[in-house]
A and B are shown apart, each in its own frame.
Chain A
Amino acid sequence: MRSRFDTERILLALAAPTLAVLVAALLSSVALLVAGHSPLSTFQSMASFGVDSGSIVQILNKSITYYLSGLAVAIGFRMNLFNIGVDGQYRIAAFFAAVAGGAVALPAPLHVLLIILVAAVVGALWAAIAGVLKVTRGVSEVISTIMLNFIAGGIVAYLLNPDRLAVRQGSQLINTHPLRQSGWFPGIPLPGGEVYGFIVVAALCGVGYTVLLNRTRFGYDLRATGLSETAAVASGVDVRRMVVRTMLISGGVAGLVGLPTLLGESHSYGQDFPLGYGFTGIAIALLGRNNPIGIGLGALLWSFLEQSSQILDLEGVPKEIVTIMQGVTVLSVVIAYELVRRFSLVQQQRRVGAELGTAAPTGDEVPA
């Protein structure tokens, strides 16, 4: 009995993203045809470039960042909170972590730990601002986190100045004091290159996410609030505290998003520190349906698309086709999930009705 439910659940869980990817492929093909390019050859070039060993390393590295970003957003989503501020949170967190890291010299594991800690704390606090505003003043976190993104950008821009917290490298570049070697996270060598060692931390975060949400009391309260706030309140959940705590955790994970780059590549925070990871995180959380494995797959898919698009320039196909693919995938996946969810509920009701032989009314109230 139980196994039947499980296999059906897995099938349903896979149906939606598969459907979405197909729709995305279809629509992008249309976009390509309109521009006079062949969809088949485009997809082929992307595929072959994508599995090249050098590419695989790049894909893995990018996906680490996206994974963390998706996790951060998903934590909020599970509670019906929209943390759109991951972008600002990771930047301000990475900045201060870089500053702190550049200012000290500690033995290797401690140095890295310090950097991670500072990043998580700063990210958490920045997110908490939105949480507190929501709980005390009723400000929608959707708008407040977005505004905080811009404010974070401004603050970082202000501080990233040789007169304040940064240094000048050469004549053009301005960045924070570079981290000493002890503050570098060792990489994992593979045939095509080096994968950021931070992948381990990311995986741990994924495990932590699952354990927290599915196995702890706090996680139960969080999920209950997301499923039905009224029922959660009646069961004793203090929603206000929950909101702030969740934003803290979400922001804390968001703070880590910039660290793969910081610790594995750039080793300082400069004007060219990558932007936009926060919004990607939202897409990936949606793709992965807030599930840590789904998010992982979504991150890999996203990075794959980005990486393989680079070959397209050489073929004369605008690589921006990939952004369309990504956008369409997100939209179609949320539609597909909704359809699947509804279908699954109806199926369950039907099944329960059939198994209990309640084809005739029992006098209970009926739906609708």
Chain B
Amino acid sequence: MTTTSPGPVVSEPAAAPAPVPGRRLRLSLPVVLLGLAGALVLVSLIRLVTGADDITSSGTTGAALRLAVPIGLAGLGGLWAERAGVVNIGLEGMMILGTWFGAWGAFQFGAWWGVLTGVLGGALGGLLHALATVTFGVDHIVSGVAINILGAGMTRYLSALVFEGTPGGGVTQSPSLPPIGTVTVPGLSPWLHTVERKGWFAVSDVAGVLGGLVTQVSLFTLLAIALIPLSWWALWRTKFGLRVRSCGENPHAAESLGVPVYRMKYLAVVISGGCAGLGGAFLSEVATNIYREGQTNGRGFIGLAAMIFGNWRPGGLAAGAGLFGYADALQLRSGGESVHALLLLLVVLLAGVAVWNFLRGRRVAAVVTLVFAALVLLWFLGTDRVPDEFVGFAPHITTLLVLSLAAQRLRMPAADGRPYRRGEA
């Protein structure tokens, strides 16, 4: 072949000069345990320094567990839907339906019946969402928003119909509901409490955390916790789960192999609604014992954040829910002082991130983070407690912070949120 320049006709093919594509940090068990241990030591230190005993108390942990459940269930709902490729912003609305139908079922038939009706109520919302997005191809987020509006409206109307005239009930709340049983591990629980009261570094903190997890845990909570490994098993170990996930990764490939993509999406979204409904039922039956308007308080969205934080995996989701639940618990229980102590934790974390950014060569980000850390430190030193009103949005600002720091390292299902029509490969 003639060339316009002298020399070899074909130069040596380029040796692959690039390094192996960076692997994400594999979260294996040793890494996770190490991380937990580190976190525990850090928090214990902060407790000692600030004297805010409540941050690792069993009371707080118990409350954190209780508050993590609805967030976790909402997140699980988000997981099921998004793994099938459908973004579900309507979780809040489905949760609201769950709170109402759970309360109604409990009021009419009994506590555990309420759990069932709550699930069905949420699943109904899921069905609507599936209808709009899968069959009619409406934008996922628009449909979700519409369902949130509808959910709030429906429950209002239904309350006016059903709860008005009942003792303690009205348009915005239901009468008192029958309780669900709790479980306390005999022997272990009181012993942990004793250790906790001793106030020893790290050991008492561990005792406090564990104590909260084994004392007066609602049966409903146990059910909810069981759903996490169950979902993992269903999605990663069964045929059904593989097919659902394929709809979220490459629905056209699934279609070409005979997977009924529409049906899978429908099922996944209905399950998603059911999970959210379950979370709602938990709110009205366990977290409180009535249905009250506005009960969900944005937990549907926080659940989504937990799902993102967990990188669309049940394990990570549980961790995220735990984190947000903890923030929620602190602000409910001891408000100002404990959250104030957390400020110090935040300073340490931000400083750590700043160092990490600096080592990675991201100077600007490092400086910005450091500035934030300094500001928070000033705030910590300058006040005794965080005002109640600020404490009220602690979980929300935690969500924002977590997402800001973590959102870019994650990988969502490849076809998430994309409109899908059969035959348009």
Partners in one complex: yes
> Which of A113-121, A136-144, A166-174 is the contact stretch?
A136-144
The secondary-structure label for the interface of chain A is helix
Against A, the Cβ 8 Å flags (1 = close, 0 = not) of B160-181 are 1100100000010000000000
Q: Chain B nearest CB: distance from A4 CB in Å?
A: 27
> Which of B101-109, B148-156, B231-239 is the contact stretch?
B148-156
- Given A31-B157, A368-B424 in contact, is the A330-B396 Cβ separation under 8 Å? no
A143 to B144, CA, bound (A): 13
A217 to B397, CA, bound (A): 37
Residues from 150 to 178 in A contacting B, C-beta threshold 8 Å? 150-151, 153-155, 157-158
B37 sits at the interface (CB 8 A): no
A148 to B401, CA, bound (A): 11
A146 to B152, CA, bound (A): 16
A279 to B305, CA, bound (A): 20
A249 sits at the interface (CB 8 A): no
Q: Chain B nearest CB: distance from A233 CB in Å?
A: 18
A342 touches B146 (CB 8 A): no
B153 touches A335 (CB 8 A): no
Against B, the Cβ 8 Å flags (1 = close, 0 = not) of A275-305 are 0000100110010000000000000000000
B89 touches A142 (CB 8 A): yes
**Complex interface: chain A residues within 8 A of B128 (CB):** 331
A12 sits at the interface (CB 8 A): no
A326 to B145, CA, bound (A): 13
A150 touches B298 (CB 8 A): yes
A328 touches B400 (CB 8 A): no
A218 to B403, CA, bound (A): 30
- Given A150-B396, A157-B392, A334-B132 in contact, is the A323-B153 Cβ separation under 8 Å? yes
B400 touches A283 (CB 8 A): no
A286 touches B142 (CB 8 A): yes
B301 touches A146 (CB 8 A): yes
Residues from 122 to 154 in A contacting B, C-beta threshold 8 Å? 133, 137-140, 142-144, 146-151, 153-154
> Which of B133-141, B187-195, B261-269, B313-321 is the contact stretch?
B133-141
Q: How many residues of B contact A (CB 8 A)?
A: 50
B390 sits at the interface (CB 8 A): yes
- Given A143-B399, A147-B400 in contact, is the A327-B393 Cβ separation under 8 Å? no
In the complex, the chain A residue whose C-beta lies closest to that of B132 is A335
A137 to B139, CA, bound (A): 24
A327 touches B152 (CB 8 A): yes
- Given A35-B161, A139-B404 in contact, is the A323-B396 Cβ separation under 8 Å? no
**Complex interface: chain B residues within 8 A of A323 (CB):** 152-154, 156-157
Q: Chain A nearest CB: distance from B169 CB in Å?
A: 13
In the complex, the chain B residue whose C-beta lies closest to that of A282 is B145
B157 touches A334 (CB 8 A): no
A211 sits at the interface (CB 8 A): no
Query: Quick one: which of B146, B152, B404 contacts A334, CB cutoff 8 A?
Result: B146
**Complex interface: chain A residues within 8 A of B397 (CB):** 147, 151
Query: Quick one: which of B153, B308, B396 contacts A326, CB cutoff 8 A?
Result: B153
A178 to B373, CA, bound (A): 38
**Complex interface: chain A residues within 8 A of B389 (CB):** 154-155, 157-158
A286 to B159, CA, bound (A): 27
- Given A133-B400, A150-B298, A327-B146 in contact, is the A143-B304 Cβ separation under 8 Å? yes
**Complex interface: chain A residues within 8 A of B171 (CB):** 318, 320
- Given A139-B407, A326-B149, A334-B142 in contact, is the A320-B156 Cβ separation under 8 Å? yes
Q: Chain A nearest CB: distance from B311 CB in Å?
A: 14
A146 touches B157 (CB 8 A): no
A154 touches B393 (CB 8 A): yes
A324 sits at the interface (CB 8 A): yes
What interface size band does chain A fall in? 35 or more
Q: Chain B nearest CB: distance from A243 CB in Å?
A: 15
A328 to B153, CA, bound (A): 9
Against B, the Cβ 8 Å flags (1 = close, 0 = not) of A305-349 are 000000000000011110110111011001100110010000000
B423 sits at the interface (CB 8 A): yes
Q: Which of B157, B160, B301, B405 has the most CB of A within 10 A?
A: B157
A84 sits at the interface (CB 8 A): yes
B11 sits at the interface (CB 8 A): no
Query: Quick one: which of B151, B390, B408 contacts A138, CB cutoff 8 A?
Result: B408
A338 touches B137 (CB 8 A): yes
A325 to B304, CA, bound (A): 28
A350 to B297, CA, bound (A): 49
Q: Chain A nearest CB: distance from B382 CB in Å?
A: 16
A91 to B311, CA, bound (A): 33
**Complex interface: chain A residues within 8 A of B154 (CB):** 323-324, 327
A144 to B301, CA, bound (A): 10
B136 touches A84 (CB 8 A): no
B403 touches A143 (CB 8 A): yes
**Complex interface: chain B residues within 8 A of A154 (CB):** 389-390, 392-393
Q: Chain B nearest CB: distance from A368 CB in Å?
A: 6
A143 to B164, CA, bound (A): 34
A82 sits at the interface (CB 8 A): yes
A320 touches B160 (CB 8 A): yes
A31 to B143, CA, bound (A): 22
B147 touches A331 (CB 8 A): yes
A338 to B146, CA, bound (A): 14
**Complex interface: chain A residues within 8 A of B139 (CB):** 334, 338
A143 touches B146 (CB 8 A): no
7 inter-chain pairs at a CB distance below 8 angstroms, sorted by A residue, are A137-B407, A140-B407, A151-B397, A283-B149, A330-B150, A331-B146, A339-B136
